[in-house]
Amino acid sequence: MRTPRRATAAAALLPLLALCACVGGGPVAADPEDGPATADWATPDAIGHAPELPVQRISDVAPSRLADGLLPPTNRWFSGLVFGAEPQTVHPYPLAFRLTDSGFAFDLPEVVASADAILAPFDGGITVDAGATGAEVVRYDEVSVTIRLSDDDGAIGDLTLAEGWPVVAFTAARETALGIDKPLTAYGDDLWTTAADDVVYGLTAPGAGVDGGTVTIAAGSTAQWWPVPHGAAPEDWAAAIGDPVTGVETEYALTDEAALTRLTYEGTDRTIVVPFPGSGSDDGCTSGAYETAFGAAAACRATTLSWGVPRMRPAAGFDLPDSADLEGIRAQLAEDLAATLPTAADTYFGGKGLARLASLLLLARSLGDRPLEDEATALLERELGPWTDPDGCVLRAERCLAYDDRLHLVVGRAPSFGSEEGNDHHFHYGYFLFAATALAEARPGALERLTPAMDALAADIAGGAQDALPALRTFDAYRGHSWASGTAPFADGNNQESSSEAVAAWNGLALWAAVRGDDALRARAEWLLSAEAHAARSLWLEPDGLPAPYAHGIVSLTWGGKRDYATWFSPEPSAILGIQLLPVGPVGLQYLGQDPERVAANVAAAGGEAAFSGELGEYVLLYSALAGDEERARAAALVREWDPADLDDGLAASVAMAWLAAIGRD
């Protein structure tokens, strides 16, 4: 480890970007394509505080295939191309792609389902030999990536991939002979087809020479491959595909009712794009469809994708009805505060403990109990204090934050679930931001002390700076949800398990932006919050159209090319459902219970009341209360029987009681 030094504002951290830019989501009243009058479409601006942290390299991981000058792209759908001794398969939806020793291969994966998984594995496809001996990522954005193939003489050409673009594009840097491993059939001027695994692929390469399986492309010319959907004509697709896409601009906006997203596929005046299933943005898409692990994906002649999801607002404290047992909640709150232990030293369990204390503080405020609020505030200030010391990691090996200038991360010194490699940062830091907001509201004088560290955490997960942190590190604007793995060393792509902790992350970010008076950051956070909550329901908790023989109504691990009924830590059904439900807080009331019948079905599938005593079963019990009045009454009775000492470390019994009371208000 290098001797700690301070990172400067340029190299260390990082303006909080206020990107007001968009993609697509579920059907809403507003029309994001036209840009509603109440939407403010904009592009990113750097704003905010640039704190200084000690520079320390916590991990030995480094990029293996990344051009000089680019920030390491952790937590991306394509991170597996950059990290590791060998590149991984990646999933530029709806395709699968991999680098080979001398070129590349791509596939439209066949969907294979089992009782516990829905897979779309790479299985052959088309292999292209470019005579390459090296490959590296030379450009990327939130949705697309460009890879340069090279040999001893230098660059051979560039490959561009993008989510939502069913095309693999190669642009030659010099005259290049590409060897195709499947026979080519001439189909028209500059158009050929080939087939693999019952899929027909089109190839358009203007001016190319074809000799057997070799396609020779002049310098500056392009070759583009795509899978032809059943029933579609290759010549129609060739006419619809212009120059290759060179990048994707992400924009977002907010209306009173919707969070809107727009993706613009740049570099061409015409192409074909594929909305992610469930986005509600495929009206008028008539160029065929693909069967994928996430459902049917329609193909559209367009250079933009636009959609919207219902807008969610951040929430901190419960709105308790007068009819609630307020004295009972107050008594339990006093017990919970008295039983509070020192929080953990890492960013995950430490963050959960801090958020629990913040929830107790906010609950005391909702009850109007100033002595309990003061007690909770003092505890939270004591526990959060070490994390806000800019020199903390110079002085100690835990409860502190540093800047890793190799991976370009803000990271806790004590590793937690691979956090030193970029894993789960949004889960962890959302807890901190929620806690810091509660403390800043209770003790306004603490805001100045909190700001450097908390701004750094906010910037790490959702901000960015050209020379310090990537923009929108964890969030996939095309799919509308985050990725949790930093380096994604998996053939199935990147993944995310806890959709609810991702929602909580953006809720914490929005609350922190509000207390900082940063309207632009708050708008970004509300866009992220709204998109993530929509995805939590549509992909994890309430997905539609799951193929047989998949035997479950939920998905607990979403991958680039797979959907799993599993967790990283437990096979128990209570844990598989429960990890989608924590932490307990008022923001969950906005989206978890919108379909009471699905709530009841999910609880029953996890084992019903038997699940309440399983791992993370306390969260399943509280979720069950969203199914109806009878279920809420039953949950309230069972909560009264709890031993608070047995609860998950992020939950307090008084907060559970407040959750149930707040449901009753609705």
Exposure string (b/e) for 225-255, b if CB count within 10 Å is 16 or more? bbbbbeebebebbbebbeebbbbbbbbbbbb
pLDDT tens-place string over residues 163-174: 999 999 999 999
pLDDT at 467: 74
Residue 48 scores a pLDDT above 70:
no
Nearest to 162 by CA among 69, 82, 63, 94: 94
Q: Quick check: 29 pLDDT over 90?
A: no
DSSP tag of 406: T
Token representation of residue 410: 């803000």
For position 618, what pLDDT does the model report? 98
pLDDT of residue 316: 97
Q: Does residue 10 surpass a pLDDT of 50?
A: no
Residue 184 has pLDDT above 80, yes or no: yes
Q: Would 533 be classed as within a structural domain?
A: no
451 inside domain = no
Range of the domain at 658: 567-665
The answer to whether position 343 is within a domain reads no
Choosing from 208, 231, 247, the residue where a domain stops is 247
What pLDDT is stored for residue 5 in this prediction? Answer: 30
> Average of pLDDT values for 362-373?
98
Decide: residue 508, CB within 10 A, 0-12 exposed, 13-18 middle, 19+ buried: buried
Is the residue at 296 inside a domain?
no
Average pLDDT over residues 361-380: 98
In a domain, 192, yes or no: yes
The continuous run of DSSP H or E covering 160 comes out as strand 154-162
Query: What is the predicted pLDDT for the residue at 664?
Result: 73
Report the C-alpha gap between 174 and 270 in whole angstroms: 25
Last residue of a domain, one of 231, 247, 263: 247
Residue 44 pLDDT exceeds 90: no
What average pLDDT does range 596-606 have in this prediction? 99
576: number of Cβ within 10 Å: 28
Handedness of CA 644, 648, 650, 655 (dihedral sign): negative
Of 452, 456, 462, 472, nearest to 410 by C-alpha is 456
Q: What pLDDT is recorded for position 471?
A: 86
Range scoring the smallest mean pLDDT among 11-15, 298-302, 318-322, 629-633: 11-15
Residue 12: the pLDDT is 30
Which tops the pLDDT comparison, 354 or 38?
A: 354
Q: Which helix (H) or strand (E) holds 295?
A: strand 295-298
Task: For the chain, give the mean pLDDT.
Answer: 91
Q: Which tokens belong to 334?
A: 């006093």
pLDDT (tens digit, 9 = 90+) per residue, 644-654?
A: 999 999 999 99
Q: Is 469 part of a structural domain of the chain?
A: no
pLDDT band at 384 (very low <50, low <70, confident <90, very high): very high
Percent of the chain, pLDDT > 90?
88
Per-residue pLDDT tens digits for 464-520? 655 788 889 999 999 999 999 999 999 999 999 999 999 999 999 999 999 999 999
175 occurs within a structural domain: yes
What mean pLDDT comes out for the span 311-315? 98
Contact 73, 470 (CB under 8 A): yes
> Would you state the pLDDT for residue 323?
86
CA 633 – CA 663 distance, rounded (Å): 11
Residue 52 is predicted with a pLDDT of 80
* pLDDT at 432 (0 to 100): 99
Report which DSSP code applies to 465.
Answer: B
Q: Tell me if 305 is assigned to some domain.
A: no
- Domain final residue, candidates 247, 270, 294: 247
Residues 73-125: pLDDT tens digits?
999 999 999 999 999 999 999 999 999 999 999 999 999 999 999 999 999 89
User: Per-residue pLDDT for 195 more than 90?
Assistant: yes
pLDDT at 18: 32
Specify the CATH number for the domain of residue 156.
Answer: 2.70.98.30
pLDDT value at residue 23: 30
Q: What is the pLDDT of residue 68?
A: 96
Lowest mean pLDDT among 19-23, 244-248, 357-361, 499-503: 19-23
Report the domain count for the chain: 2
